[in-house]
A and B are shown apart, each in its own frame.
Chain A
């Protein structure tokens, strides 16, 4: 029996690790479909951002209460993983509570701490579930989340509650069996634990063999649950638990107001103004550059990493002046659409070996009406806890609308005409520019 479960565990862990590895490589490939952009500068600031924004969750604390609950789940996730290490090693070597003997009196203290966290995680998840489904915050009932995204969020919370429940029940069954001196449980005495002892009354009526089955079942479901969850991540908004870290490291360090320059356009204008600067005609040139972004390939890899890092919390959309006043624009939906299109392109590549034109683009997911509603106010960028910029994607797509498709509203065409002819956005003569000095 011992041998068999060891083999089964190694098999399960191996399959899960392999499948997850493949998903990671696929996502990496998808992200690298984007344009190159250099983020190798200012390493010190980047590491600092990683610590503050990802480990410290600094931005979350704009709302302290929610931040605290989120931090409990996050700390629970990280710290309880130490316990998962023991569980995994036990599975590998066919041992039981491998760390108990070497850690001595420290061991029960540690497990107690884990149990406190587990209860904290459980409570926070219940609160978050009710916030999503009973309190009906505007950003959670939004149509952005209709279908899979809304279920996804609930599945994650329910899974966490289940995993914590299994962990506590396992400990309760274990300590009860210890007290009864049953089998090998009786030889590894840890004493009762802080939280799980309260489950004892529920289990007291069970026979010892039944308790042992329960303990093993919880153990197996807990570890299989974690392995399954690992492989669920790539399909879920919950991927942010991993990608928040690179996203913080590669956070934009320039002032939010600064827009990406387009050196290819800068050069063309320079050659038009100073023809002597232009390279001789007939020289072998690069293919004509594309202006702005029509599809995921035209965005920077950084924008695509953003799309996978987004956890669809909707803080961006809740702060967006266009969304608040009923326009169709939702910065969160911009990120979700980018990920959806990127996933579609990824599947296309998986099927065809290389990308085969499917007659679609990012513009099949994001409408001009959405793009035109943006005031470039940076509220979405400011709010994002994981340093995503929906604005960058909006701006690159606006550039394509204007420069690739000449698709502008009438009033903007008038604006362009005025700036070109009068050097001002309105139809005033440049000679009147100093008229304001005439009065007063």
Chain B
């Protein structure tokens, strides 16, 4: 698919309205790549002037910082901020809550001051402005959907309503899990847990959470984070519910419903 790359835009002397920060998961993980393509396809369809950093993008440093390796985080942050500032980037959108948190809250102290929007808030805005128009009838009309709050979106940054507003546009039946919003249970991936085996316990965090999601009777578990997506997908597999329940990103749901 056609995706504008920042270096090429800069070479032509152009600048985008918004930089799409893809993130490592969205770039490399096969499942998350689909989310990235879905979001990019929405941007393309709406003719939004955006760009990606492409090969120039690097890990924000979130997992290493949360693991405790501040040196490596500072190295990554330094290089990313150099790149972003060199291109004079003012506004960033990302589909990853971890990238969102670190870009909007933690790069500021290091000389990287940007307006950062998570794709849930961005999609909500596009819907509110009437730029995203849904297909007649609605692909997900009447389907039961439950939304899983990402910790780095919800508690970390107080974003609870935007993803729900986006889902409301689908005309589906939204059901909440008992632990939702500020009481939402983690998927188990944060704090660099994604990259190691869980400590000894009686249950995996993602199994616990997915069971709760499945119990709502929803056929779609909506996520707004590629890491949550991976964890919940594993949970659905473990519960042997792959036939009945799909884990999907809000961008994918919109991409399938858009005119």
Taking the complex as formed, is B203 at the interface, i.e. its CB lies under 8 A from any CB of chain A? yes
Residues of chain A with a CB closer than 8 A to B40's CB: 437
Among residues of B, the one whose C-beta sits closest to the C-beta of A440 is: B37
Q: In the assembly, what is the distance between CA of A316 and CA of B194, in Å? A: 22
Q: In the assembly, what is the distance between CA of A416 and CA of B37, in Å? A: 28
Taking the complex as formed, is B54 at the interface, i.e. its CB lies under 8 A from any CB of chain A? yes
Taking the complex as formed, is B48 at the interface, i.e. its CB lies under 8 A from any CB of chain A? no
Q: In the assembly, what is the distance between CA of A327 and CA of B69, in Å? A: 23
Contact: B75 with A425, CB < 8 Å? no
Q: In the assembly, what is the distance between CA of A261 and CA of B65, in Å? A: 10
Contact: B55 with A436, CB < 8 Å? no
Contact: B105 with A374, CB < 8 Å? no
| Contact A322:B199 (CB < 8 A) given known A269-B78, A415-B192, A431-B55 | yes
Contact: B74 with A256, CB < 8 Å? no
As a 0/1 sequence over residues 266 to 290 of chain A, the CB contacts with chain B under 8 angstroms (1 = contact) are: 1011100100000000000000000
Contact: B106 with A259, CB < 8 Å? yes
Nearest CB of chain A from residue B16's CB, rounded to whole Å: 16
Residue among B70, B109, B194, B208 facing the most chain A CB atoms (10 A cut-off)? B70
Residue in A62, A328, A416 whose beta carbon sits within 8 Å of that of B72 in the complex: A416
Residue among B34, B72, B199 facing the most chain A CB atoms (10 A cut-off)? B199
Taking the complex as formed, is A402 at the interface, i.e. its CB lies under 8 A from any CB of chain B? yes
Nearest CB of chain B from residue A50's CB, rounded to whole Å: 21
Contact: A402 with B68, CB < 8 Å? yes
Contact: A265 with B196, CB < 8 Å? no
| Contact A419:B199 (CB < 8 A) given known A324-B208, A434-B54 | no
A-B contacts at CB below 8 angstroms, number = 221
Among residues of B, the one whose C-beta sits closest to the C-beta of A264 is: B70
Residues of chain B with a CB closer than 8 A to A262's CB: 70, 74
Residue in B74, B75, B156, B196 whose beta carbon sits within 8 Å of that of A255 in the complex: B156
Q: In the assembly, what is the distance between CA of A184 and CA of B184, in Å? A: 63
| Contact A327:B101 (CB < 8 A) given known A376-B66, A376-B190 | no
Residues of chain A with a CB closer than 8 A to B5's CB: 434
Residues of chain B with a CB closer than 8 A to A374's CB: 191
Residues of chain A with a CB closer than 8 A to B68's CB: 292, 395, 398-403, 408
Residues of chain B with a CB closer than 8 A to A256's CB: 155-157
Residues of chain B with a CB closer than 8 A to A423's CB: 58-59, 76, 79
Residue in A291, A369, A440 whose beta carbon sits within 8 Å of that of B1 in the complex: A440
Contact: A261 with B208, CB < 8 Å? no
Residues of chain B with a CB closer than 8 A to A377's CB: 151, 155, 186, 190-191
Interface size on A, residues (CB 8 A): 69
Q: In the assembly, what is the distance between CA of A257 and CA of B198, in Å? A: 22
| Contact A258:B106 (CB < 8 A) given known A270-B78, A319-B183, A439-B37 | yes
Residue among B24, B71, B72, B196 facing the most chain A CB atoms (10 A cut-off)? B71
Contact: B156 with A257, CB < 8 Å? yes
Taking the complex as formed, is B130 at the interface, i.e. its CB lies under 8 A from any CB of chain A? no
Q: Which of A350-385 contact B (CB under 8 A)?
A: 369, 372-379, 381-382
Nearest CB of chain B from residue A185's CB, rounded to whole Å: 55
Residues of chain B with a CB closer than 8 A to A254's CB: 105
Residues of chain A with a CB closer than 8 A to B101's CB: 255, 257-258
Contact: B199 with A378, CB < 8 Å? no
Nearest CB of chain A from residue B6's CB, rounded to whole Å: 11
As a 0/1 sequence over residues 395 to 425 of chain A, the CB contacts with chain B under 8 angstroms (1 = contact) are: 1001111110000110110111001100111
Q: Which of B25-33, B166-174, B216-224, B242-250 contacts A (4 or more CB under 8 A)?
A: B25-33
Taking the complex as formed, is A430 at the interface, i.e. its CB lies under 8 A from any CB of chain B? yes
Taking the complex as formed, is A326 at the interface, i.e. its CB lies under 8 A from any CB of chain B? yes
Q: In the assembly, what is the distance between CA of A379 and CA of B24, in Å? A: 25
Residues of chain A with a CB closer than 8 A to B126's CB: none
Taking the complex as formed, is B188 at the interface, i.e. its CB lies under 8 A from any CB of chain A? yes
Contact: B195 with A411, CB < 8 Å? yes
Q: In the assembly, what is the distance between CA of A324 and CA of B156, in Å? A: 20
Taking the complex as formed, is B158 at the interface, i.e. its CB lies under 8 A from any CB of chain A? yes
Nearest CB of chain B from residue A270's CB, rounded to whole Å: 7
Q: In the assembly, what is the distance between CA of A62 and CA of B183, in Å? A: 10
Taking the complex as formed, is B193 at the interface, i.e. its CB lies under 8 A from any CB of chain A? yes
Residue in A265, A382, A424 whose beta carbon sits within 8 Å of that of B27 in the complex: A424
Taking the complex as formed, is B63 at the interface, i.e. its CB lies under 8 A from any CB of chain A? yes
Among residues of B, the one whose C-beta sits closest to the C-beta of A424 is: B24
| Contact A436:B61 (CB < 8 A) given known A273-B78, A377-B191, A378-B156 | no
Residues of chain A with a CB closer than 8 A to B26's CB: 436
Contact: A415 with B78, CB < 8 Å? no
Q: In the assembly, what is the distance between CA of A183 and CA of B253, in Å? A: 84
Residue among A261, A414, A419 facing the most chain B CB atoms (10 A cut-off)? A419
Contact: B67 with A426, CB < 8 Å? no
Residue in B2, B110, B183 whose beta carbon sits within 8 Å of that of A266 in the complex: B110
Residue among A257, A259, A324, A433 facing the most chain B CB atoms (10 A cut-off)? A257
Contact: B197 with A411, CB < 8 Å? yes
Taking the complex as formed, is B185 at the interface, i.e. its CB lies under 8 A from any CB of chain A? yes
Contact: B55 with A433, CB < 8 Å? yes
Nearest CB of chain A from residue B223's CB, rounded to whole Å: 15
Q: In the assembly, what is the distance between CA of A322 and CA of B206, in Å? A: 11
Contact: B201 with A419, CB < 8 Å? no
Taking the complex as formed, is B204 at the interface, i.e. its CB lies under 8 A from any CB of chain A? yes
Residues of chain B with a CB closer than 8 A to A381's CB: 155
Residues of chain B with a CB closer than 8 A to A419's CB: 59, 61, 63-64, 72, 76
Taking the complex as formed, is B182 at the interface, i.e. its CB lies under 8 A from any CB of chain A? yes
Q: In the assembly, what is the distance between CA of A33 and CA of B52, in Å? A: 48
Contact: B190 with A375, CB < 8 Å? yes
Contact: B37 with A269, CB < 8 Å? no
Q: In the assembly, what is the distance between CA of A433 and CA of B53, in Å? A: 10
Q: In the assembly, what is the distance between CA of A263 and CA of B190, in Å? A: 24
Q: List 8 A-B contacts (CB under 8 A).
A: A257-B155, A321-B209, A327-B200, A375-B191, A395-B68, A403-B69, A435-B28, A440-B1
Given A261-B109, A375-B205, 16 more pairs with CB closer than 8 A: A256-B157, A262-B70, A263-B109, A319-B183, A321-B188, A325-B188, A325-B203, A372-B196, A375-B188, A375-B190, A400-B68, A412-B196, A415-B63, A434-B55, A435-B28, A436-B37
